[in-house]
Amino acid sequence: MTSTTIDAGVLGTGFYVPERILTNFDLEKMVDTSDEWIVERTGIHERHISAKDVPASELAYQAAVRALADAHTKPEEVDLIICATLTGDAVCPSTASFIQDKLGAVNAAAFDLAAACSGFVYSSTVAAQFIKTGTYRRVLVIGVEVLSKFLDWEDRNTCVLFGDGAGAAVYGPVEKGFGILGFDLGSDGSGTGALGIASGDRGRALVEGQKQNCVYMNGAEVFKFAVRAMGATMKRSLERAGMEPKDVDWLVPHQANIRIIQSAAKRLALPLEKVIINIGKYGNVPAASIPMALAEAAGEGRFRKGDIVVLAGFGAGLTWASCIMRWAKEDL
């Protein structure tokens, strides 16, 4: 007796960022830094900042509405909502539950997934498993962050890096041989002290003197990990998909640092014209970074049906994740 699995891929995408823009020149007035210093080391020129009274779920809702419209999917047709975030509305209930209610996705299960900047790729692979088994037909995956609420605005090493925003994708059944073809997920828990938010019993204890509920980061350690992890995870995903770097048409990397992005592209021998880069406009928007870049590129018509697209990221945990997909959406 043979079993048949269903291939799962992206049916639609959308993203949303708050209106307020904080430039490097604005930051020069707040902390001891400069536009030149930030751009040279990170590639960031500006980032979007959410209003204090606007929660993550509102940004996520806006991105979700756009993704559902792009996928020609009604809220009541959604079977599951997965929200990847570090900065949700509450510890409990899940941010996904708030999103479900606002969308009117009355038939959807909903939960959050915490894997930091790797969260969207983690969530996408989870969505694919539900679809492959035939359990669900429409899964809404959202990455959202309002990290500005968790920054020490006196710490020039972290406050210049991050921004707020949300990206979403609707996953569903696609043609055989399309969608997610291979993936790789991982974590090195020994690196928990390198990057995170100083909250909770363990988080507060990891970094002595760190302001409570604020981001902490050992930049040098994270950079070394990221360069190593990005190359390794993409290689494993390609092997599992039965592909080689030369088969890749597009790379959509986590937008953390332009030098890390350039290193990832070099590993694939991919020209930067084939790498989706929007870090200059948005900064690092942890779990939302990859879906925002994916949605922006898709909206610009960059992808063609059949293109091989690689998603790859890394984050606190220390986590890493990548997946290989054959783009299934028709360019309408």
Domain that holds residue 292: 179-326
Q: Do 161 and 12 share a structural domain?
A: yes
Q: Do 54 and 159 share a structural domain?
A: yes
What is the amino acid identity at position 173? P
* 204, part of any domain: yes
Out of 117, 159, 214, 323, which one is annotated catalytic? Answer: 117
* 2, part of any domain: no
> Domain of 257: which CATH number?
3.40.47.10
Residue ending a domain, among 173, 200, 233, is 173
Residues 81 and 100: their CA atoms lie apart, in Å, by: 7
pLDDT of residue 272: 94
Q: Is 117 a catalytic residue?
A: yes
- With pLDDT > 70 as the criterion, what percentage of the chain qualifies? 95
Residue 242, number of CB atoms within 10 A of its CB: 10
**SS3 for 153?**
coil
Element (H, E) at 48: strand 46-48
pLDDT tens digits, one per residue of 274-307: 999 999 999 999 999 999 999 999 999 999 999 9
Out of 48, 83, 284, 323, which one is annotated catalytic? Answer: 284
* 109, part of any domain: yes
Residue ending a domain, among 119, 152, 173, is 173
Residues 96 and 144: their CA atoms lie apart, in Å, by: 10
pLDDT of residue 1: 36
Alpha helices in the chain (DSSP H): 24-28, 35-42, 56-70, 95-103, 119-132, 156-159, 200-206, 219-240, 258-267, 279-282, 289-299
Q: Is 254 a catalytic residue?
A: yes
User: CA angle at residue 301 from 297 to 304, to 5 degrees?
Assistant: 105
Residues 244 and 191: their CA atoms lie apart, in Å, by: 30
Q: How many domains does the chain have?
A: 2
Q: Do 158 and 20 share a structural domain?
A: yes
Which stretches in the chain have pLDDT values below 70? Answer: 1-3, 199-210, 331-332
Q: Do 167 and 189 share a structural domain?
A: no
* 1, part of any domain: no
* Mean pLDDT over each residue of the chain, to the nearest integer: 92
Out of 24, 48, 159, 254, which one is annotated catalytic? Answer: 254
Q: Do 281 and 255 share a structural domain?
A: yes
pLDDT of residue 170: 98
Tokens 């997946």 -> residue: 323
Q: Do 153 and 128 share a structural domain?
A: yes
Tokens 């220390």 -> residue: 318
Q: Do 230 and 82 share a structural domain?
A: no
Q: Do 126 and 21 share a structural domain?
A: yes
What is the secondary structure of 205-262 as a DSSP string? HHSTTPPTTSEEE-HHHHHHHHHHHHHHHHHHHHHHTT--GGG--EEEE--S-HHHHH
